Amino acid sequence: MADEQDIQGGPGDRGGEPSAGGAVLTSEELFAIQARRRNKVARTMRKRGEAEWPFSITSLMDALTILLIFLLVTLTSDPLNVKQDAHLLLARSTTPLTPEDAIPLTIKKGFVSVDQKEVVRVDCRMPGGRACGEEQIQRRTYCDMNPAECSPEELQVLKTMEFYVDKTYKENGDENSFAIVPLLARLEEKVKQQQEENRELRREFKGVVNIICDRDIPFRLVAEVVHTAGLAGLSNMRFAVVRSSTRY
């Protein structure tokens, strides 16, 4: 029979194809033969209890997986995902700049972290060298946000709190050094990792770091962190702030 021969062509063929007996089939006849073949396959599948699917499940699952990954990346790609609390209150600013993806470096009342991993402890002391307690840190944050509810004397005492990195973490154990050794090692590791990733992606390494700093951290500690980041090869630094329309 003609429908059991290996026949090529379709409705778009104008010249037709020779059959096994040498006769030339028209495009309409070829189309009819192909339709009978498809119907025969469908009947066979139905007899076997198999459903005839007009699409591939595997391809559909691949598409859904890609879409899900895209949505997850989009929703979690905030370069500055900052949760403020008593140990981390950001300063306010009117800057028009928007944050960009970079190495996150956080300075809190309690520790310095890189990419949300604690690197070095930040201590607190009162005048005379007495260590600060957690209750005093909580109270300072409360009074900063609600100064009318705290007495002038209490405000004055709380403002004498000093946050610092102990000299044992400094270069050569020198209290006057600006280089924080554990922080430098961690930042150099992150810089090397980013350089390798950018090399594979053929992108330029910009050396950007987002510094997320509590507003009560003194200038000296901020300067030490900035100096250490510079030693690690991070020359482009951005400070995270809370955008405000009011100038301070």
Structural domain boundaries in the chain? 2-75, 79-122+165-248, 127-162
Return the pLDDT at 239: 85
Q: Model pTM?
A: 0.63
Read off the pLDDT of each residue in 157-185 and give the average, rounded to a whole number. 93
Contact 109, 88 (CB under 8 A): yes
42-100 pLDDT per residue, tens? 777 666 655 555 555 566 777 788 888 877 765 554 556 667 777 887 777 777 776 67
Spatial distance between the Cα atoms of 141 and 85, rounded to a whole number of angstroms:
8
210-225 pLDDT per residue, tens? 899 998 899 999 999 9
176-201 pLDDT per residue, tens? 999 999 999 999 999 998 889 888 88
Contacts of 44 (CB under 8 A, 6+ apart): none
Q: In the chain, count of helices (H) and strands (E)?
A: 6, 11
Res. 106: pLDDT tops 50: yes
Instruction: Identify the CA nearest to 210 among candidates 114, 144, 143.
Output: 114
3-state secondary structure of 153: helix
DSSP secondary structure, 98-137, as one string = ---S-EEEEE-SSEEEETTEEEEE-EEE-TTSPBPPHHHH
Return the pLDDT at 235: 86
Return the pLDDT at 2: 43
